[in-house]
Every structure is written in structure tokens, then in C-alpha cells.
Structure 1
């Protein structure tokens, strides 16, 4: 397991194996069942995680309606980071869609690690840049593309996700109803 974690984190940074081992040593493995939460809306987060196995989604729930912000598969960092650094309640849930395993680190341990080794700041910058890029792209798609084109992009970006995620979750990610998604699927099959 440690070798897989080291390999995954090395995709983001040039930290050495021993430096990554320090990160692992101050982290803990969390097993989450499907439909459980890594972070709940209203909770002040004190940790973030690295998805080892499984699948998560960031979801807002308002008046009984779900709005899926993003899907986070294996090798993704998950967090309500702005809430964690501001010490304010999260506005969304991070829900396990499948049984999942996460390497979790407390914000306090993360701060200590960054002070001891500035290379971890580079990893943080990479994580934030990736998150910002995804957010900007998603906003552009919502403003400029219709639902069918957003669905096509979803299929391209997440080629195996459709089989792992329920239709209503995909629809909420696209900003449409499950019925509208069914129509788009039928149209694309003909």
C-alpha cells in the first residue's frame, strides 16, 4: 500500500520517497462505506484526504435537491479546503459513492509538515492549481454549453465513471433532471 501511495503522490511533486513516507506516518487510513461522508455540510473540517480506492462526490443539498459539484476518483485529494483554513462550516458534503479508502491527514499535522519542508507547499500549489482549473472549466461549460455537450465532455473526462455512478448523480452534475439525461442518452444512441 505504501508503494502505491508514494507513486500516486509523486505524480504531483518531486518529493522523495522518504519525504512522502513522513506524510504517510502522520496520516491515518480511513475506510468509508458507500453513502457515508468524509465531510458533512455544517461541519468545520479539520482534515483532508487522498483517495486510495473508491469514489467520492462533492454535493450540495438544498430544499431536498442535490447538486453534484465534482466527482473525485482514486488518486484525488479531497477536502473542503477553504472551510478548513478559515475554520468555518463546510457548505457541502463529501460523500463516498462506493466503499472507499482514504489516507487522511489533520490540518495541524499538514501545517507542521509544510513548515518542516517547503516542498510540501509546492504540492499544495499543484493541488490548488488543479482545483482552480477544474472549477474554471466547469463554470465555462455551464455558461456556454448545452446539456448534451456537457454530457459528452463528462463521458470524455470520466470514461469509466458512468458505470460507477447512479444516473441521478450524473444528472445533478450536469445540472439537469434524470429524465432529461435519459432523453440525451437516447438521442445519442440513434
Structure 2
């Protein structure tokens, strides 16, 4: 729980009473490896904060191939939809790559936090803006780089993920085949 509190406090100050209220609404859950946090076509019922582990965000293209969009690692908030009132049915899957621990809030509890803590929506907007800009930077750089540059950039930006994520998922994220990634890795060593 302290990881979540420390994370939130990076974006604004909250008093003890507000922090205790947030803690009272939170619940810790675990996901086993390959277990879904959410699935395409199924309504999302909770907001989560990843304490430990790695989650992969992916979808299926029109050929039925899994395409990895990105990875979520520790200290990231997993939100659904544009507003808390919106019923969100994703077109993507979020699946645990490793054993994961999350702090989760029901949509109703999240709404109560928003209605009780005056700065809450501003805090969440700051978090969303930060995550969004990180994703845009990550994806836009991939477009202009060749496979080797993409992999080296991935290793530099996500050194903790390289040994935690299967190569097939990294290759999919980088937009190259697994055999190309193996060649790239061999040539780099």
C-alpha cells in the first residue's frame, strides 16, 4: 500500500485523513502468470495499481496474431475509460507475464474517492498525462528506428524488463520477428 501512497504523493499533497480514506477503499489482489487482469469484450470493473510484476497489453490483429502494444511494470496505475462513469469494454487484453500483486479499487469506491478528495481528479489527470506522454514517446521512436535500434532503445529504457519478458513478446512489441530479434541479440553481444 505504501508504494501506491508514495506514487500518489509525487503528484500532489494529501493529508493523513485523505490517505487513510484511500487505504480504506483499497484491496490487494494477486494475479498468477498468464492470468488476465482484463479481457477484450468484458466490462472492466476495477481500477488497479501494479505493486509488483509485469503485465502485457496486447490485441489480436485481423490475421489472428497477437500484437503486444506495451508492458506495464511496477508503480503504474491501470485505469479504464475516460471517466469513472463510463462503462469501459476494452478491445485489448491485459495479461500477467509474471506473478503480479496489485492494489485495486472498485469503480464505486474510486468514484467515492473522487467525490470526497477535492484534488483527486487533478491528481489522476496528472498521472494520466504522464503515462500518455510516456506511451507516445515510446511508440513514436519505434517508427523511425530499425530493429537493432529499437531493441537497444528498449534495453536502455526498460533494463528491468529484458530478463522478465519472453523474447516473443519483446519481438512483437518491437514489430519484428522472434528470429530477427535473436539475430540482433547475437550480433550485439
TM norm structure 2: 0.90
User: Could you tell me which residue of structure 2 aligns to residue 120 of structure 1?
Assistant: 120
Structure with higher helix content: 1
Kept after mapping to 1: 8 A contact 2:53/2:96 = yes
Give ranges in structure 2 of 5+ residues lacking alignment: none
Deviation at 1:85, TM superposition (A): 5.3
Q: Secondary structure of the residue that 2:162 maps to in structure 1?
A: helix
2-side partners of 1:68 and 1:84: how far apart?
26
CA distance in 1, matches of 2:84, 2:114: 16
1:130 aligns with 2:139: no
Residues 138-169 of structure 1: CA deviation (Å, up to 9, x unaligned)? 33213222222111111111112111110001
Instruction: Report the aligned-residue RMSD.
Output: 1.9
Moved more, 101-110 or 132-141: 132-141
Mapped to 2, the partners of 1:124 and 1:182 lie a distance apart of 39
3-state DSSP of counterpart to 1:52: strand
1:185 match:
185
Partner-residue secondary structure (3-state), 1:161: coil
Partners of 1:135 and 1:4 in 2: CA distance = 22
Q: Counterpart of 1:123 in 2: which secondary structure? A: helix
Q: Contact (CA 8 Å) 1:50, 1:75: kept in 2 or not? A: yes
Aligned position for 1:53: 52
Gaps of 5+ in 1: none
Whether the 8 Å contact between 2:32 and 2:100 is mirrored in structure 1 is yes
| Number of equivalenced pairs | 188
Q: Is the 8 A contact 1:45 1:84 kept in 2?
A: no
Taking structure 1 as the reference length, what is the TM-score of the superposition? 0.89
Partner of 1:75: 75
The equivalences for 1:1-190 within 5 A come to 2-62=1-61, 63-82=63-82, 86-189=86-189
- Deviations along 1:62-86, one digit per CA (max 9) or x if unpaired, are 3431211111111111234349754
Judging changes above 3 Å, is the alpha-carbon distance between structure 1 residues 17 and 146 closer, same or farther for their aligned structure 2 residues? farther
